[in-house]
Each structure stands twice: as structure tokens, then as C-alpha cells.
Amino acid sequence: MTPPGPDRRTTELAAPFVELRTALGRVLVGQDDAATGLTLALLAEQHAYLEGPPGCGKSELAAALAALSGARTHTLVFHRDIRETDLLGDVLLSRHHHRGHERLRRELIPGPLLQAEVALLEDLPRSPGEALGPLLRILAERHALGQTLPLESAVATGPLEQVEAPIDPLEPGQLDRFAVQLRLPGLLTGGLFDEAAVLLEREAARQPARRAVPAHTFTTGDTAPRPAVMGTVIRNAAQRAAAALQVEPRTLDAYHRLLDRLRQRTADESASGDRLMSDRSFSSAALRLVRAHAFLRGAPAAAPRDLGAIRYMVAHRLPDEVQEAFDHILEELLGDPPNVTMTETGAQMPGAQSQGDDSDGAAAASPASDSWIDDQADLPAPPTLFGKPPPPAQVDPLLRALVGRIERGRIDPDTDPGGQPRGYRPLRDLDELIDADLIEALLFAEGRLPGAPRTFERKRKSAGGAVAVLRDISASMAGRLTVWSSQVVLGILRVAARRRMRVGYVEFHHRALPHQVGGRLLHRSYSRLAEQAGQAKAVGQTNYEAPLRTALEGLRGGSGRNRHVVLLTDGLPIIGDTTVRRERQLARRLGVALHTVFLGNGDCPPVLDDISLETGGLRFCGRPLAGGGLRLEER
């Protein structure tokens, strides 16, 4: 079969989108991926989610897409008080007199969002669940209040998922409504100094903007209004043409193999990040994007290389490590003929194998240390220091107690004015009318409601929680104590991994040695920490102050009660403030529980008791057993 030659009309239709891509690329410095991803999203009529650190230009890029595309747009800034009516439209309350009684009916009149072709949803995760549920449904169905919406793409922005952010992160299922998911790096914090220099130069060369009303929105590009590069008719024609593009059979074949690889890698990695490969996204949406990719480069049909469009989808669908390897995986897949046999060095990299029997190969290639995340699996073999491993530490009592404390913090959502509405409660204060049921508030104001209107009860769950493990690696911890404390750390990591809690790991002697991932103390890279925990070497002297300070700084700013620090040590602090008075105070103020575990034969330093008692933490001690093992029990 010969693919049809490039249709002249196709090329004509693609040109405005190529222009759009170029123009978007000029809006921000160093964010080319995001520009391409957004262009593809609009062309494939998919929704997009942009996330990144504050001030990296998410909103700017989204606004530029809206302006350049010439689409009818509506911007909605989400906040905790956003209501259904802001999203959908005004309430229509109709009254009918019917056989002597009055009948009230509540309807909605479609608002501007429902008439938009490109909808900008800023700070989406700040919205309460009440508003988000219907909105996401409408986005998916493109149908509301009995009419089909003109909506082509919704572009949402949100902050990076961080402990510090006082908002609940969106769930992967909610994010799945956004086919395109893009993560924008910060130029400075991402170390992209060359791009930063370009941006500085551009800002310095900025032309005077003569305007009566000074504009102050953040722009990194020209502040002049951006003229549209296309109109709705052209845009829609291009979208239709892109959707009708053929997908070559070899592309489909490569896509199947790509999905296999991604599935394997996702199952292999006990890595951090979400994993959700839904049918919805990876069938229709993915192929629309692949077609759009081909269309954009003027190809007559989607070739295997157009599978590159998939990488704009993966930010919340694949674990971080797999995302990083995505380009590599795809490259190897496209480069490799399907029948190469596995070489012995190939075992290092599952992506180095190809299709066919590679499911076995990949399983063999996955390091054994990944299996510990499974609750049923055994712990990894303890590091051998004397040739023969010592009998294992009995860490269960500690873990059980810790799990109890963690669960206690998770069960009941706290009442929180910034939380999500989870029911109604009576009005306590006239001020709360703003958060009351609209109709009831109106009837109340008219004096037609016998009682007070109901208002939302807002609650917030302690999202995930966090645990930081501080492990003494001073010289006295050498030998069996090192092995045992590794086992305790692994046990805690396992508990945390099962609950998707963020973990931090700080080894300390006279200094604190935090093991950060991506510059953060708290993260979800459980397997990396597990590996680290097996390698600790005992040196130096003990200092409690430095590690506690490090951990508390890392936990600072987070909300919720479910924050824990576990301090593992075998001796008295010698260096730093030995009473850690200030750290105890800080922990109390932050509501962080400091649990202490004392290992070894000596007497437990009284300061450990003080630390735990003051902060509501657990107290444990580990006694070596006659047979050579270690038993942990409450002090």
C-alpha cells in the first residue's frame, strides 16, 4: 500500500499550527516542550494540564495559546470559594403557581465557560471537590445542560506537587481527564543558566510599552497583545483533517510495543510518581496526539516517529524514572529491529531488549531490591559486614506502633476553612452566607425560610503525610547496630511506601547528611532510599541538633497532623546542643511527632525521653538478644 502523497490542502491547514507552535515557543525561554505539547493539544482537541514551580510562566503560556489560536476563550481562576455557578452559569429560579401551591425549580443558564472554545482553568487544584467533579465530567463529555459545547481544549495550570503547598493534590484519576500533561522546569532552580541569560537579555531589551493603563501581568515575552494566527474556521478544519489522518500499520505495531515497554518499566520500578495508563488516554487521546504530531510536520500519515507525541502525556501517568527514560525507550524501540536477541550486558537496561520474549528478560533485569515495596515480600538481604549476616532485628513492634500513629492522623479529615465541602452544617454567623446554599440564602434573606440556610462544612484530610528517618551513623554504630538500624529504616520505608507517604532520610554523625532527591528532603523515591540505607558506614560522633533541625526544616510549612520524625541512635549526643531545646519547641509548634528509638545495651539518654514525651512521639529501645538478634520494645 502506498501512502497518499501530501495533500496540498493538508499542508495549507498545517501552516497556521506551525506558526502557532513557533509563536508559542517565543513566549517563554527554555520551555519548548510545553509549547509543542500545547500546540498538539489544541490540534488534537485534547485538554492539557501544565504544572511547574511558581513564576515559571505557566499562565503566560496558556494565555498566549488562547490569544494566538483566535479561539473564543474564558479564563477561570480557581479558588476555594469557587461555586458551581461560576463554572456553569447563573441559577435560574423559576416559580410556578400550580393548583394553589407554589413550585420552585432550579435551573442553570450556561455561563461563559460553556461557550468557550479554549478554556483556561488557572490554579485548578485549588478548587473544592464540589466544583471540580461536575467540571471534569463536562470537560470529558463536552456536553452540559443539554447542549454540546464548542470546547476544543481546556488548559489547566497547577503548582508542583509539594509538601509545602497548602492544597490537596489532584488525584491521578482527575488528572487523567487532561490528555496532555506538561511539567515546566524553573530556569534558575533547574540550573538552566544559559536560558536564564537569554531571558535577562530579552527583559533588558524590552521596548517601552506606551499605554494609558499600565499592565502588570507577568510576561516574559513582548507585552503587546498577540494577534491571532488563525481563525475558528481554519482551526476547526485543521483539527478535523488531523483527526482523519491515517496511522501507518507499522506505527500501530510500534505503539503496541511501546505500551508493552512502558507497562514493564512501570511495573518494575518501585519508583516515585503516579502510574495510570488508562484505556481512555492511551487509546483515543494518544492516537489523536500522534496524528496531530504527524499533521504538524506535514506528513501524509502517522509514522512511528510520531509516537514522540506520547511523551507530552506522561507527567502523571508514569513513574518519574520511566518518564526520564521515555525518549531513550522510544529511541531504542524505533532503532532496534524486532528480532535482536538479548545480550548479556542488556540485562542492565530493560529497554535494551525488544519485543517478543522480553517480558521474562525485563523481569530478570529488574533489581531484586524493587520487590521490598510489596508488603508480602521479604526484606532485601541485609548487608553483610562479617561475611555472615547477623540474625535479623525484630522490628515489628515498632512498625505496628508507628502504623497506629500514622493511621490515627489519617482517618478523620480536619475541619478546615480551606478544605473541601463535605456536607452541610447550620449557619453560625451571617458572614458565612457566602458559603451557604444559594437558594436557601435567598429564601432566608426574604424571610421565607423558617430556619437559617445551610452552609458548607469544609474538611481536609491530612494528605499522605510524611515521615523523616534520622539515623545515627556515628562510629559507635559500627557492626551489628548498623545492620539492625538498616533493617529498621527499611521497615519504616515499607510502611511509608504502602501509604504513599513522603519520606525523608537523614544520616547523621557530627553533621546531618540528608539524602535529597531533586533537591527535596521529602519525596517518594523509596527504592533509592532503601539502597542508601543498606550502604551506611559508621564514622564520627553523635550530634542530635543538626539532623533534627534538617528534618524539621524539611517538614516545615506542610499542613496536617500526619508528620513524623523517627530518630534512631545508640548514644548520647556529644556535639551541638545536646538538649535540642529549640528543635523540641519547633516540633511542638509544627505538630510534628518525634519518635525516638534507642539501640544498644547502655542506658537510654534521658534527652530522648524528653524529646518523645514533649512531642507526643513513641519511645522504643532495641535490646540485643542472647541469640544475636535484636528485639525492639517500648521504653
Q: Hey, which residues between 65 and 84 contact other proteins (CB under 8 A)?
A: 77, 79-81, 83
- Least gap, CB of 635 to other proteins (angstroms): 29
- Least gap, CB of 136 to other proteins (angstroms): 21
Nearest C-alpha neighbor of 251 from the set 334, 356, 338, 328: 334
- Least gap, CB of 615 to other proteins (angstroms): 15
Nearest C-alpha neighbor of 120 from the set 50, 172, 57, 31: 50
| 90 part of the interface to other proteins, by CB under 8 A | yes
Is 61 strand, coil or helix? Answer: helix
Cell of 578: 545536646
- Evaluate whether 275 touches 327 at the Cβ level (below 8 Å): no
- Evaluate whether 597 touches 571 at the Cβ level (below 8 Å): no
Q: Which of 1, 5, 101, 217 binds other proteins (CB under 8 A)?
A: 217
CA 427 to chain CA centroid, Å, is 36
How far apart (Å, rounded) are the C-alpha atoms in residues 607 and 393? 24
Q: Which is closer to other proteins, CB of 337 or CB of 519? A: 519
Cell of 71: 479561539
- Evaluate whether 93 touches 102 at the Cβ level (below 8 Å): no
Stretch that binds other proteins, among 9-17, 34-42, 440-448, 572-580 (CB under 8 A): 440-448
Q: Which of 164, 414, 457, 577 binds other proteins (CB under 8 A)?
A: 164
- Least gap, CB of 338 to other proteins (angstroms): 42
Say which residues have a Cβ less than 8 Å from residue 194's Cβ, sequence separation at least 6.
none
Q: Which of 2, 5, 8, 95 binds other proteins (CB under 8 A)?
A: 95
| 100 part of the interface to other proteins, by CB under 8 A | no
- Least gap, CB of 212 to other proteins (angstroms): 9
387: left (phi over 0), alpha (psi -120 to 50) or beta: left
| 155 part of the interface to other proteins, by CB under 8 A | no
Q: Which of 2, 5, 8, 216 binds other proteins (CB under 8 A)?
A: 216
Q: Which is closer to other proteins, CB of 8 or CB of 210? A: 210
Stretch that binds other proteins, among 217-225, 304-312, 492-500, 527-535 (CB under 8 A): 217-225
Q: Which of 521, 551, 592, 632 binds other proteins (CB under 8 A)?
A: 521
Amino acid at 280: R
| 166 part of the interface to other proteins, by CB under 8 A | yes
Q: Which of 65, 131, 165, 599 binds other proteins (CB under 8 A)?
A: 165
| 187 part of the interface to other proteins, by CB under 8 A | yes
Is 262 strand, coil or helix? Answer: helix
Q: What is the 3-state secondary structure (H, E, C) of 275-339?
A: CCCCHHHHHHHHHHHHHHHHHHCCCCEECHHHHHHHHHHCCCCCCHHHHHCHHHHHHHHHHCCCC
| 98 part of the interface to other proteins, by CB under 8 A | yes
- Evaluate whether 593 touches 552 at the Cβ level (below 8 Å): no
Nearest C-alpha neighbor of 291 from the set 279, 304, 301: 301
User: DSSP secondary structure string, 483-513?
Assistant: HHHHHHHHHHHHHHHHTT-EEEEEEESSSEE
| 115 part of the interface to other proteins, by CB under 8 A | no
| 447 part of the interface to other proteins, by CB under 8 A | no
Stretch that binds other proteins, among 103-111, 234-242, 367-375, 391-399 (CB under 8 A): 103-111
Amino acid at 337: P
Stretch that binds other proteins, among 186-194, 242-250, 478-486, 612-620 (CB under 8 A): 186-194
| 585 part of the interface to other proteins, by CB under 8 A | yes
How far apart (Å, rounded) are the C-alpha atoms in residues 616 and 625? 28
Stretch that binds other proteins, among 218-226, 401-409, 471-479, 614-622 (CB under 8 A): 218-226
28: left (phi over 0), alpha (psi -120 to 50) or beta: beta
Residues 335-394 that bind other proteins (CB under 8 A): none
Residues 301-330 that bind other proteins (CB under 8 A): none
- Least gap, CB of 203 to other proteins (angstroms): 4
How far apart (Å, rounded) are the C-alpha atoms in residues 624 and 635? 14
| 210 part of the interface to other proteins, by CB under 8 A | yes
| 556 part of the interface to other proteins, by CB under 8 A | yes
- Evaluate whether 88 touches 108 at the Cβ level (below 8 Å): yes
Q: Which of 363, 364, 377, 434 binds other proteins (CB under 8 A)?
A: 434
Q: Site map for other proteins, 8-47, x if CB under 8 A?
A: ----------------------------------------
Say which residues have a Cβ less than 8 Å from residue 205's Cβ, sequence separation at least 6.
none
| 206 part of the interface to other proteins, by CB under 8 A | yes
- Least gap, CB of 594 to other proteins (angstroms): 18
Q: Which of 259, 379, 438, 478 binds other proteins (CB under 8 A)?
A: 438
Q: Which is closer to other proteins, CB of 477 or CB of 522? A: 522
Nearest C-alpha neighbor of 569 from the set 551, 592, 593, 543: 543
- Evaluate whether 152 touches 45 at the Cβ level (below 8 Å): yes
566 forms bridges with which residues in the sheet? 469, 595
Q: Which is closer to other proteins, CB of 8 or CB of 96? A: 96
Q: What is the 3-state secondary structure (H, E, C) of 130-145?
A: HHHHHHHHHHHHCEEC
Q: Site map for other proteins, 399-418, x if CB under 8 A?
A: -----------------xxx
Residues 119-148 that bind other proteins (CB under 8 A): 123, 126
Q: Which of 26, 422, 520, 561 binds other proteins (CB under 8 A)?
A: 520
In the block, residue with C-alpha cell 510502611: 495
Q: Which of 554, 560, 571, 576 binds other proteins (CB under 8 A)?
A: 554
Q: Which of 12, 222, 553, 633 binds other proteins (CB under 8 A)?
A: 553
- Least gap, CB of 476 to other proteins (angstroms): 30
506 forms bridges with which residues in the sheet? 470, 514
